[in-house]
Chains A and B, each alone.
Chain A
């Protein structure tokens, strides 16, 4: 009960931001940060809970963005000299769902392929996948306009055309939309994690032979995690594309995956709040640094921060704070004495 009250309070607080912030540029930053937080939440499901480092995560984000953009804009493809496939523009809510679905299907494929191989191989397969998709977006000019980008993408709309429609031209409704989807993503991941499926994922991460010995199907749960994660990243991509209303092959750049990874690692992988905290920090930090340092210096700082965090705060901010809080509260149960635990196991 108490927990629910706090949660509702926090969401209301975030929802009230456009009412008192009064600066549209700051609101814009919060919107893009929110979109990245959704992507980070989705990555956390894979990286944090199943322990699989997906370094091609931006592919799902970009697939969601491109699919939603293309379905809402319509396109035609010259399949043979005599036949051209014409796809009429569809409403944005429909294109958005298509984006999620297609990203999830790609996640399913990648999951099926790459969970045969784990660890380093999974990482490399996911990177390769993202690069292939980027090169396709760059070169399939008939469909994607390549480097010229898809322009004039319609903004998000809700409602029934002709009867009542709400179009998200302004920043405020976009902010609330992103916030709502952030909350939804958070809730979905929390439900998964606190259920049979999530426990199976954690069990696989912690001790795969033991997990399989009690009947956990490795492939099934890893693929499930990838599908949900990819769909969620696709949703983030769709939000992005209808908010900025232009999309080019740069959405697939590796650096965006890295941003998501940094957000998750910094906040605390495998914790529910980690990606949100990490996302807020790394969404707002670039703006804070903007006046002081150029983008290269910013990225240098990111890289160094990432190294420092892995060295000194390997669990991330959220677990560190939880431990600190527990100790302050007098709960004398610090994290497991790892050394002795290892000795016993060996």
Chain B
């Protein structure tokens, strides 16, 4: 069990299967994410990417297979327990605490980093106050990191779409992930927003955070990923570097229809924004 290769494995997904009634959404999926890399999970709509995400992060109980993160078994854990292991996700549909300010959104994300217990809070111990102070500074840092420093006092729901997506990433980063799962983070963003998001992803990487990405935007996927795993109808059809994937005939076949649809999707994305 020693050896460098094993140590490098952060997330291991082995034979993951998810069935809804008679429908198999994910079929015996096997892949690894190495420490420190950016791995993209791509595939046409309905290929099972988000389902796999939900299974990894505990929002769905898999019908079979194993999921392990740094030797801890994730199957059967609740989402919050998985988060406590450092595996934090974002959601495909924009998901922020709408009624709270951007600043408070991040403070809520910092939950895991705080130590104060209920009794300490009720008795108003000074340690609580000083921790609050540190956390407020931390929250500012995180907001500045994603570039929302100026928006700190605006309500989450009042932010424009692109900024809500950034806020989501800020909330996830606040939770101190060692593995960050991003579910279509740039969908609905315009090209310049996407470009700056790619820069930010580089910064996140520099923090030593491993990233598992689900994305439709191929330019982004090819630009940021170390490796790409391609799904179709719930199974993996290719696994390799971006350059290899772009040449893979199976991938091209699976994606041919998707490419055409993609141009249309662009228009829809704008309307949604």
Chain A: residues with CB nearer than 8 A to chain B? 187-188, 191-192, 194-197, 199-200, 202-203, 206-207, 209-218, 224, 228, 333, 335-338, 341, 344-346
State whether B112 touches A191 (Cβ < 8 A). no
Kindly state the separation between the CA atoms of A215 and B171 in the bound complex, as whole angstroms. 11
Kindly state the separation between the CA atoms of A202 and B93 in the bound complex, as whole angstroms. 20
State whether A212 touches B171 (Cβ < 8 A). no
Q: Most chain-A Cβ atoms within 10 A of its Cβ — which of B94, B99, B104, B155? A: B99
* B91: Cβ under 8 A from any A Cβ: yes
Within 8 Å by CB of A202, from B100, B109, B272, lies B100
Chain B: residues with CB nearer than 8 A to chain A? 57, 59, 78-80, 83-84, 88-91, 93-100, 104, 107-109, 111-112, 114, 116, 118, 121-122, 124, 128, 132, 154-155, 157-158, 161, 164, 171-172, 174-175, 272-273
Chain B contacts of A214 at CB under 8 A? 83, 88, 108-109, 111-112, 171-172, 174-175
Chain A contacts of B172 at CB under 8 A? 213-214
State whether B57 touches A197 (Cβ < 8 A). no
Closest to B106 in A: A214
Q: What are 17 A-B contacts with C-beta separation under 8 Å?
A: A191-B128, A195-B132, A197-B121, A202-B100, A203-B111, A207-B95, A207-B98, A209-B91, A211-B108, A213-B79, A213-B83, A215-B175, A217-B80, A336-B155, A337-B158, A341-B158, A344-B157
Kindly state the separation between the CA atoms of A203 and B132 in the bound complex, as whole angstroms. 17
Within 8 Å by CB of B108, from A203, A228, A336, A345, lies A203
Closest-CB distance, B163 to chain A (whole angstroms):
10
Can you add 8 more A-B contacts, CB < 8 Å, to A196-B121, A199-B108?
A191-B128, A199-B107, A210-B91, A210-B95, A341-B158, A344-B94, A345-B98, A345-B157
Chain B contacts of A346 at CB under 8 A? 93
Kindly state the separation between the CA atoms of A217 and B112 in the bound complex, as whole angstroms. 10
Chain A contacts of B98 at CB under 8 A? 206-207, 336, 341, 345
Q: A336-B98, A336-B99, A345-B98 are in contact. Are A213 and B91 (CB under 8 A)?
A: yes
Closest to B174 in A: A214
Kindly state the separation between the CA atoms of A207 and B80 in the bound complex, as whole angstroms. 14
State whether A215 touches B132 (Cβ < 8 A). no
State whether A212 touches B111 (Cβ < 8 A). no
State whether A209 touches B59 (Cβ < 8 A). yes
Kindly state the separation between the CA atoms of A202 and B95 in the bound complex, as whole angstroms. 15
Kindly state the separation between the CA atoms of A335 and B236 in the bound complex, as whole angstroms. 47
Within 8 Å by CB of A197, from B89, B118, B155, B174, lies B118
Chain B contacts of A212 at CB under 8 A? 78-80, 83
Kindly state the separation between the CA atoms of A212 and B109 in the bound complex, as whole angstroms. 10
Closest-CB distance, B127 to chain A (whole angstroms):
11
Kindly state the separation between the CA atoms of A210 and B122 in the bound complex, as whole angstroms. 26
Chain B contacts of A338 at CB under 8 A? 157
Within 8 Å by CB of B122, from A202, A206, A228, A337, lies A228
Within 8 Å by CB of B93, from A187, A196, A216, A345, lies A345
Chain B contacts of A188 at CB under 8 A? 122
State whether A216 touches B80 (Cβ < 8 A). yes
Kindly state the separation between the CA atoms of A345 and B92 in the bound complex, as whole angstroms. 10
Within 8 Å by CB of B164, from A200, A224, A344, lies A344
State whether A213 touches B57 (Cβ < 8 A). yes
Within 8 Å by CB of A210, from B97, B107, B132, lies B97
State whether A215 touches B158 (Cβ < 8 A). no
Chain A contacts of B161 at CB under 8 A? 344
Closest-CB distance, B126 to chain A (whole angstroms):
12
Kindly state the separation between the CA atoms of A200 and B132 in the bound complex, as whole angstroms. 14
Kindly state the separation between the CA atoms of A118 and B164 in the bound complex, as whole angstroms. 28
Closest-CB distance, A328 to chain B (whole angstroms):
19
Closest-CB distance, A88 to chain B (whole angstroms):
31
